[in-house]
Structure formats: C-alpha cells, structure tokens
Amino acid sequence: MKLGFSAADESFRGECAEWLQGQLSGAFADIKGIPNLVAKVERRKEWEQQLAAYRWSCIGWPAAWGGRDATLSQQVIFAEEYARAGAPGRINHIGVELAGPTVLAFGSEAQKARYLPGIAGGTAIWCQGFSEPNAGSDLANVRTKARLEGAKSQREWVVDGQKVWTSLAHFSDFIFVIARSEEGSRGPRGLSFLLMDMNQPGIEVRPIRQMNGEAEFNETFMTDARCPADAMLGAAGEGWKVAMALLAFERGVSTLAQQMGFRNELDAIIAAARANGQAADPVVRQRIARAEIGLRLMRYGAMRMLSNTDVAAIDGAALTYKIQWATWRRNLGELAMDVLGQAGEIAEGPGYEWSMLPNLYLFSRSDTIYGGTNQIQRNLIAERGLGLPREPRGDL
C-alpha cells in the first residue's frame, strides 16, 4: 500500500502540466475555467481536437486507437493536472469515458475502426439514450422499439420511441440507445444496444429547461430513426448486459477529474466564508471541516477503486461511490448558501443566471437523482453489496 508517486510519474506530471498550462494560457485561454457544461460549444469541440492532436484525449486507451496505454498512476496524474490547469469540462466525456470503453470492450475490430477514431480525434460527440418517461429508476422498463428492416445486404434497425434526460444531445453526433428489439419481451430481456447517428431526420431533440434556468438535458424523439444492422454492441436482445457494463465505466479515472471540480467549489465556499466573516463561526468551521474530510475520503475511495485489480469482486468502495459523492455535493450546496446568506439569492446579471455557488445549490438537487437515485443506490448496495433479499416486484 503506497500513496506516493514514483520519480517517473512525477516527470510525467511535469510534462502534462507544461502542455496543459501552455494551451490554457495561450490558444485556449478563452475557455479556461468555464464552469457551465453547455457554454462555448464550438470552442470546446476545438479543444477536444487539440487534445487529440497531441494525444491527450484518451490516454488510458490502447495506443493503436489513439491512446497512450497510460498506467493508472499516469491517468490519475493527468486528471489532476487537467483540473489544476483550469481546463474546461470535457464536452465529449460521454464519448471518451462511456461510449469508447464500451466499444473497446464489446466491439468487433470493424466496429472499433468505425467509432473509435472519431472519439479519440474529438470529432464525434456522443450522448446517452437510456432513460425514458416510464423507464427512470425502473430503467429496464424500456419501451422504445427497434425492428430490423430491409433486404439482407442493407438491413437496418428502425427505432421508434422517446428518450429523456439526454445530456448534451443538442450538439451530439452519435447516441447509444437501449431499445426493445424483441416484441413482447419485458424487463432486461429482449433489449439491444444500438449506436445511432444523431444527424438524421428521424431524431428530434427538444431541450428541457432545468430548475437552475439552464438547459443541459433534452428529450430525444425517435420516429423511424435508423442505423445499420451491425451498429449494435453485443448480441441482439442482450443489450442490458452491455448497458450495465457501460455504467461501471462511470466509476473510472474520470471521477478524479470530477473531484477536482468539487475541490474548486469547496475552495470558493472557504473564500466566501473568509470574505464575509463566516469563517470564524464555529458551526460553519465544523461544516467546512466535514466537507473537506468527505472530499478527501472520496479521493482515497476512488484510489481504492482504481487500485483494486480484482474486478470480479463487487468492491464496496465502487458500489457506494455514487451516493457518497451525490450526497456530499448536495450538502455542499446547502453549506454554500448558508455561508453566502441572502446575497446568494441575488443573481449577478440581468438574466436568471447563477454564479458557481448558487448554481451548485440548485444543480446539486439533480445529483441525487440522475444515474440512479439515492434510493436506488441503497437498493443496489443492500442487494448486491450485502446480499439482502430483493423487494418483491409488483409485476403487472
């Protein structure tokens, strides 16, 4: 057990830091430190391509597909330096962290050649089509239908249905979808995992305005939407397995980059507390200390997840990670507003737009819902982690 990094790792750190800081004080200085995930989309697409040009877009991938075969330590270091340099959130994080690893794990050589270069090259932005109006916590209750049509040489999937909470769909090039491909099937059986082009007449995207005023999520309507028959990962009817494997990638090294964002938010609260005198309040100090401790434990929890090579075992740190960070961040939002007081309720500009901390307060209410609510997380922890009996289902 060892926390420190080797001399070689530290020299890699220097290399990362130098390149990142050079870019973000030079050609990409205009997108340094922007917190909003949907701001300056075009510039951030260019940033993805710049990362790719210098082979920094997906360093954990095999070199053959545009990565660097980076070790775990190197990936950790890159994530840390990326955030330290103030680089913006990855607009293609769904492509790089979810779609790409899933194609690497389940795709044929032909599929890898078709999809990976666009992700690694920063030219194909991806989004995720899982949730539906009636498939939220009960995700397997997917009703979007897929059927094969056409002559043998030109067979394609035809997809009809509605997806919801599709982050970044309005500027994505591809979407991965779970759709019911076996008529009459129910639950996790009979679903297929399809990779679809967003730029087609059968797909319509409508933004959903959130309680913080922004519109990061969308509804995605599919009416006779199409993709080739072989644009499918895993076997037909076995898409659930692929979807579940994909969700496991969400707990990868990217969690460390996410934590650096949390670090910035906590630092902003500490700075605000110093500025307005709240820093002397013993109760506020206790809450800040708890937040600091929680953040550190998140980091070392992630380190445990990443260092554990025994992927077969359901690791406790991995299973509890989502609810841990989501709850921590929701509490952080409350702390932020308690520190700011009523000043936090006044928008800075003329529009309904919020600076980092009030926005954290509002946005963090989604953290405990998306990607599996806290209640669903507790079910998973109890049933998979502790082996408790399932709640009997109300199957209709």
Partner 1 sequence: MEFAFTEDQVMIAETVRAFFADNATSARTRAAMAADGIDDELWSAFASDLGLAGVAVPDTYGGAGLGMVELALVAEAAGAHVAALPLLGQAMCAQAIASGGCEARKSEWLPRLAAGQMVGTWAWAEKVEANDGRLSGTFRFVPHGAAAEVLVVAAGKESWLIDPSGDGVTITAHVTMDQTRPLATVVLDRAPAEALADGKAAIAGAQSIGWICLAAEALGGAQACLDRTVAFSRDRIQFGRPVGSFQAYKHRLADMMIEIEQARSAVYWAACAVDEGSEEAMLALHAAKSFCADTFTMCAGNMIQLHGGIGFTWEHDAHLFFKRARSITSMLGNGDWHREEVAQMIVGEQAA
Instruction: Give the SS3 label for residue 181.
Output: coil
Residue selected from 92, 220, 368, 377 as contacting partner 1 according to rule CB under 8 A: 377
Q: Compute the distance between CA of residue 388 and CA of residue 392 in angstroms, rounded to an integer.
A: 12
Single out the residue of 304, 338, 344, 356 in contact with partner 1 (rule: CB under 8 A): 304
Characterize the bridge pairing of strands 174-180 and 126-129.
parallel
| Residue selected from 308, 314, 345, 352 as contacting partner 1 according to rule CB under 8 A | 308
Distance of closest approach, residue 19 Cβ to partner 1, in angstroms: 21
Q: Which one of 46, 219, 250, 353 is the catalytic residue?
A: 250
Tell me if 383 contacts partner 1 by CB under 8 A.
yes
Cα 217 from Cα 209, distance rounded (Å): 8
Q: Which of 139, 129, 32, 49 is nearest to 87 (CA)?
A: 32
Q: Could you give the CA distance from residue 120 to residue 6 in angstroms, rounded to a whole number?
A: 28
Rounded to 5°, angle at Cα 51 from 364 and 59: 85
Smallest gap, in angstroms, from Cβ of residue 326 to partner 1?
A: 11
Reported as half-sphere exposure (CB side, CA atoms, 13 A), residue 217 has a value of 17
Per-residue binder mask for partner 1 (CB under 8 A), 121-160, x = binder: ----------------------------------------
Distance CA 192, CA 179 (A): 5
> What is the token pair recorded at 386?
């502790």
By beta-carbon proximity to partner 1, the closer residue of 364 and 377 is 377
250 is catalytic: yes
Task: Give 201 or 394: the residue with its C-beta nearer to partner 1.
Answer: 394
Q: Which is nearer to partner 1, 207 or 316 (CB)?
A: 316
Residue selected from 390, 393, 394, 395 as contacting partner 1 according to rule CB under 8 A: 390
Q: Tell which positions 3-32 bind partner 1, by CB under 8 A.
A: 3-5, 9
**Residue 269 CB, nearest approach to partner 1 (Å):** 10
Nearest in space to 320 (alpha carbons), one of 334, 304, 296: 304
Q: Should residue 181 be labelled a site residue for partner 1 when binding is judged by CB under 8 A?
A: no
- 314-343 positions binding partner 1, by CB under 8 A: 316-317, 319-320, 323-324
Between CA 294 and CA 328 the distance in angstroms is: 7
The rounded distance, in Å, linking the Cα atoms of 219 and 167 is: 9
Residue 201 in the binding site for partner 1 (CB under 8 A):
no
The 3-state DSSP class for residue 361 equals: helix
Distance separating alpha carbons of residues 291 and 351, to the nearest angstrom: 31
Shortest reach from residue 340's CB to partner 1, in Å: 16
User: Token pair of 115, please?
Assistant: 């999809």
Residues 240-299 that bind partner 1 (CB under 8 A): 270, 273-274, 279-282, 285-286, 288-290, 292-294, 296-298
Site residues, partner 1 (CB under 8 A): 1-5, 9, 72-73, 76, 270, 273-274, 279-282, 285-286, 288-290, 292-294, 296-298, 300-301, 303-304, 306-309, 316-317, 319-320, 323-324, 375, 377-379, 381-383, 385-392
Q: Which residues are catalytic?
A: 250
